[in-house]
């Protein structure tokens, strides 16, 4: 088969992606009380019309306090699932596999939308209606000076949290999503449990690597159990904290192996987020494919499928990553915000569909007759 790997279908359990291009989760901070708005349909719909093999909805909070901002999507109630269902249905109708990332903000909860300052809520934000709440974390240590001090979760809280992840999974399946990704990255709750930079507990959920991994592994088991066997499970990790004394690549290898043993299908390899300098790592100036080595090492060492993400913008680069065996899936984030038709243009770069036959007929019929 001469078709580039990027455009060969790939099977994940009972689900087949038509190509290996994934739009990764990207928060739009445009929800209301966790409910999606028209913005979400327009935003996500473009990616499906644009030809992505899978579209993963932005991190969707499993509890109300698990939101990052007041604009986060939520799935803590059955009513949320009812409103998410049309999004899943539309993605599927255009040929993309609908997926959803579920998570909890941890000590980054109750903050500003990025474009409002990307920091803790100010008196002006609060006067404007963004009522703060106390974030929750493994330890009562704020992200940085000036941030809210989180409440330390106790064992009952963790039981509730596990239930919330399992319930969120069931709701997502009911809503029509065909894959779930657990957010274990970027300094949010689960990664703060994993990282020695955020977890100072002395009970079974802290201390050594086994203790710090415990909650994430339990949740992976619960989510796997709640997800039908034919649907694939992704876990997004921060492969490294990239801070002295933090989570290292060797920890990621152990974690990925444990996740694989619990029926996780794909490790989505990101990095960072545990930094007090900012709430996110994605603004840092990095080079193309800077996180690919993490996906490659985990794929080879653990023998599990991986998704590469981070400044992959050139279709030929994406193909090289797949050809090299460095990853199974390629996520296109900000470049898809810039160009939602990236997958279709990538197909053009390989001269795969000069007659626009794979485009939605509403567009393709016309484009073919353009010249
Ligand atoms: C993100 N990212 C992100 N990651 C995640 O795991 N869950 C999320 O909800 C979000 N939200 C989010 C919002 C926006 C606006 C951006 C730009 C990014 C990170 C994202 O999935 C991806 O890993 C990075 O953007 C790096 O990939 P690109 O953009 O270089 O292709």
Distance of CA 121 to the CA centre of its chain: 24
Residue nearest to atom 31 of ligand 1 (CA): 333
Range 171-197 average pLDDT: 98
Q: Is the CB of 235 under 6 A from ligand 1?
A: no
Does residue 308 register a pLDDT over 70? yes
For range 66-80, the mean pLDDT: 98
Q: Is the CB of 178 under 6 A from ligand 1?
A: no
- Is the CB of 270 within 6 Å of ligand 1? yes
| Alpha carbons 342 and 248: distance in angstroms, whole number | 33
The question of whether 188 is a catalytic residue gets the answer yes
Cα–ligand 1 centroid distance for 2 (angstroms): 32
Average pLDDT in the 34-45 region? 98
In this prediction, residue 244 has a pLDDT band, given cuts at 50, 70 and 90, of confident
CA distances from 114 to 61, 71, 132, 280 (A): 17, 11, 16, 10
Report long-range pairs for 344-350 (Cβ below 8 Å, ≥24 apart). 344/50, 344/51, 345/315, 346/6, 346/7, 346/21, 346/315, 346/318, 347/7, 347/51, 349/315, 349/316, 350/4, 350/6, 350/7, 350/315, 350/319
| Banded model confidence at residue 345, pLDDT cuts 50, 70, 90 | very high
pLDDT at position 282, please? 46
pLDDT of residue 336: 98
Pair 207, 201: CB distance under 8 Å: yes
Q: What is the mean pLDDT of residues 324-352?
A: 98
Contact 225, 264 (CB under 8 A): no
Ligand 1 centre from 226 Cα, in Å?
26
What ipTM did this prediction achieve? 0.99
Q: What was the pLDDT predicted at 279?
A: 40
Q: Is residue 285 over pLDDT 90? A: no
pLDDT digits (tens, 9 = 90+) for 147-165: 999 999 999 999 999 999 9
If pLDDT is split at 50, 70 and 90, which confidence band does 278 have? very low
Is the pLDDT at 322 greater than 50? The verdict is yes
pLDDT at 113 over 50: yes
Angle ∠(140,145,147) on CA atoms, nearest 5 = 60
What does the pLDDT read at residue 283? 45
Q: What is the C-alpha separation between 207 and 114, in angstroms, rounded? A: 33
**Per-residue model confidence as pLDDT tens digits over 15-35:** 999 999 999 999 999 999 999
For the record, the structure tokens of 214 come out as 């415990």
Residue 65 above 70 pLDDT? yes
Q: pLDDT category, 245, cuts 50, 70, 90?
A: confident
pLDDT value at 146 more than 80: yes
Once rounded to an integer, what is the mean pLDDT over residues 316-322?
Answer: 98
How confident is the model at residue 284, as a pLDDT?
52
Average pLDDT over residues 233-244: 94
Separation between Cα atoms, residue 358 and residue 51, nearest integer Å? 8
Ligand 1 centroid distance, CA of 40 (Å) = 16
Q: Is 304 in the pocket of ligand 1 (CB under 6 A)?
A: no
Least confident of 59-63, 80-84, 141-145, 302-306: 141-145
Q: Flag the least confident range among 43-47, 187-191, 240-244, 309-313.
A: 240-244
pLDDT given at position 145:
87
Q: If you average pLDDT over residues 69-75, what whole number do you get?
A: 98
Closest CA to 181 of 24, 20, 43: 24
Atom 2 in ligand 1: which residue has the minimum CA distance?
Answer: 26
Predicted pLDDT at 276? 57
Determine whether the shortest distance from the Cβ of 59 to ligand 1 is under 6 A: yes
Q: Determine the distance separating the centroid of ligand 1 and the alpha carbon of 203, expressed in angstroms.
A: 32
């Amino acid at each position: 088969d001469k078709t580039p790997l990027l455009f060969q279908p790939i099977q994940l359990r009972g689900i087949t992606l038509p190509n290996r291009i994934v739009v990764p989760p990207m928060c739009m901070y445009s929800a209301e009380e966790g409910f999606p708005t028209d913005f979400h349909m327009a935003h996500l719909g473009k990616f499906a019309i644009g030809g992505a093999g899978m579209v993963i909805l932005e991190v969707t909070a499993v509890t109300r306090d698990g939101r990052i901002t007041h604009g986060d999507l939520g799935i803590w109630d059955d009513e949320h699932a009812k409103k998410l269902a049309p999004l899943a249905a539309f993605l599927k109708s255009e040929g993309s596999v609908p997926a959803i990332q579920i998570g909890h903000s941890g000590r980054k909860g109750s903050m500003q939308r990025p474009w409002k300052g990307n920091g803790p809520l100010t008196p002006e934000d609060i006067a404007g209606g963004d009522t703060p709440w106390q974030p929750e974390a493994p330890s009562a240590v704020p992200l940085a000076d000036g941030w809210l001090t989180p409440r330390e979760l106790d064992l009952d809280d963790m039981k509730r949290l596990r239930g919330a992840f399992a319930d969120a999974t069931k709701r997502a399946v009911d809503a029509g999503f065909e894959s779930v990704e657990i957010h274990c990255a970027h300094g949010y709750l689960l990664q703060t449990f994993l990282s020695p930079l955020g977890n100072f507990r002395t009970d079974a959920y802290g201390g050594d690597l086994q203790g710090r991994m415990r909650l994430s592994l339990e949740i992976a088991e619960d989510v796997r159990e709640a997800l039908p066997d034919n649907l694939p499970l992704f876990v997004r990790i921060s492969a490294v904290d990239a801070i002295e004394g933090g989570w290292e690549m060797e920890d990621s290898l152990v974690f990925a192996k444990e996740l694989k043993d619990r029926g996780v299908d794909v490790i989505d390899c990101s990095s960072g987020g545990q930094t007090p300098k900012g709430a996110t790592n994605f603004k840092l100036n990095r080079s193309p494919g800077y996180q690919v080595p993490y996906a490659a090492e985990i794929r080879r060492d653990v023998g599990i499928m991986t998704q590469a993400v981070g400044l992959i913008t050139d279709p030929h680069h994406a193909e090289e990553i797949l050809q090299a065996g460095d990853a199974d899936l390629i996520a296109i984030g900000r470049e898809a915000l810039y160009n939602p038709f990236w997958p279709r243009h990538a197909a053009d770069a390989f001269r795969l569909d000069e007659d626009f036959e794979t485009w939605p007929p509403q567009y393709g019929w016309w484009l073919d007759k353009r010249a």
